[in-house]
Amino acid sequence: MTFSVSQRVVIAVLIMTLVAPGQQRAVVPFPKTATHTVQPDAMQRIFDAAKTPFKYGIILRPDEGKMLDCPAVFRHGKKWYMTYLTMNKVGYETHLAESENLLDWHPLGKILSFRDSGWDRWQADGSIALVDTKWGGSDQPKRYQGKYWMSYLGGALQGYETDPLSIGIASSPKPWEAAEWTRLPQNPVLSAQQADVRDFEKLTLYRSNVIFDAAKSLGFPFVMYYNGKYKNGYERIGMAVSNDMQNWQRYGAEPVVANGEDKMRGISGDPQIVRMGDLWVMFYFGAGWKPKAFDTFAASYDLVHWTKWEGANLMEPSEPWDETYAHKPWLVSYNGVVYHFYCAVGKEGRAIAVATSKDLRR
């Protein structure tokens, strides 16, 4: 089923009236602390620790007529699992794959599927939440209230990321099994139609990463980063916080990572947060403010003030199978090897690839 432009506008307006705006709430202000700029030598150490110059290649290929995107990796027992999305001309669904060595991956099936109705009927792009952020840590997701958690972008219209998109939360007792996750009845938890929406996210909200901060550095145990936009071609990364994974408040009136502001264009998106020593590190992708699409990072002492890396890209197009885009990062450090999972777009379509810090093909 397809819709004309006029039909899409009407449907979008209906969605805005049907989506619950949530309780009236104020944006939590940024803490009144001095900005702690991360020094160049520390930024260089992060780059050196995370760089993966050896492109292993494509590890998951799409079926005919489909595309793959947005890998997120976690561990359970002796196996590794990846949430990722499949995409066709209709929309997004989230799938699960498993691996024993981080290189050979086997699809298991869907975990967020198309629905018969609702705000997320045709779009459901999920990413595992509360994964251990310690660099070289367990990579296991934390269980909260007896369940495991996922955040996802959702939308009611068909097509490629058709606006408006919002953010929902889902849970599962066993995220390593290919079974449908349970979506919260109060979804979406964040949308462009809520009263506290910020200027940079007034059109749509994109992919998110939720971490658990045991220290409650910001006064909340759960912290979410996501990219939003208010006009096509310009996306920036902002924050939200929660005490219970179900009720979310926006944090700060402004985005925390933005690029291309001089021309009001360019994408900073799909953040992944890890902890390296006393620093938080945000891996994210960029596009539009430098050639093609690529992966880079920023670093912070307090989860709020981020210093952007200005050096070489962590990932960029270089091979026939990622010559168009090499972006949307998820990095894992395991047994002395860094694995950089990403979306590769090139002569083999849109697929999931990995690069490593050591040459594993020898």
Strand positions, DSSP E, 88-233: 92-99, 105-112, 123-128, 148-155, 166-172, 182-183, 204-212, 222-231
Cα diameter, the chain: 58
Pair 350, 67: CB distance under 8 Å: yes
- Output 105-111 pairs: Cβ under 8 A, ≥24 positions apart: 105/59, 105/60, 105/352, 107/60, 108/177, 108/178, 109/178, 110/178, 110/180, 111/83, 111/172, 111/175, 111/178, 111/179, 111/180, 111/181
| Helix (H/G/I), strand (E/B), else coil: 11 | helix
- Of 316, 283, 187, 303, nearest to 241 by C-alpha is 303
DSSP 8-state secondary structure symbol assigned to residue 136: T
Instruction: Give tens-digit pLDDT for 239-289.
Output: 999 999 999 999 999 999 999 988 888 999 999 999 999 999 999 999 999
Q: Which residues pair with 208 in a beta bridge?
A: 226
Instruction: Please choose, from the candidates 241, 277, 115, 230, the residue with its C-alpha nearest in 3D space to the C-alpha of residue 180.
Output: 115
Look at 19-23, 89-93, 139-143 and tell me which has the smallest mean pLDDT: 19-23
Higher pLDDT, 9 or 326: 326
In whole angstroms, what is the distance from residue 152 CA to residue 127 CA? 6
* pLDDT score at 34: 65
Q: Work out the angle at residue 229's Cα, subtended by the Cα atoms of residues 228 and 231, and round it to the nearest 5 degrees.
A: 175
Q: How much is the pTM?
A: 0.92
Q: How far is the C-alpha of 222 from the C-alpha of 241, rounded, in Å?
A: 6
Q: How many whole angstroms separate alpha carbon 184 and alpha carbon 306?
A: 31
Mean pLDDT (the chain) is 92
* CA gap 71, 348 in Å, rounded: 17
Task: Give the type of residue at 52.
Answer: T
Average pLDDT score over residue span 199-208: 97
Report the pLDDT averaged over residues 133-137.
98
Ordered structural domains, the chain, with CATH? 40-356 (2.115.10.20)
- Integer Cα distance of 235 and 227 in angstroms: 6
Measured from the Cβ of residue 91, the count of other Cβ atoms closer than 10 Å reads 24
Kindly report, residue by residue over 65-103, the tens digit of the pLDDT: 899 999 999 999 999 999 999 999 899 999 999 999 999
Contact 81, 175 (CB under 8 A): yes
Q: Give the pLDDT of residue 15.
A: 42
pLDDT value of residue 6: 37
Q: What is the mean pLDDT of the segment spanning 189-196?
A: 96
Which range is least confidently modeled, 10-19, 51-60, 140-149?
Answer: 10-19
Mean pLDDT of 197-210: 97
Q: How far apart are CA 345 and CA 359, in angstroms?
A: 22
Predicted confidence band at 9 (pLDDT cuts at 50, 70, 90)?
very low
Is 284 within 8 Å of 266 (Cβ atoms)?
A: no
**What is the structure's pLDDT at 16?**
40
pLDDT at 293 over 80: yes
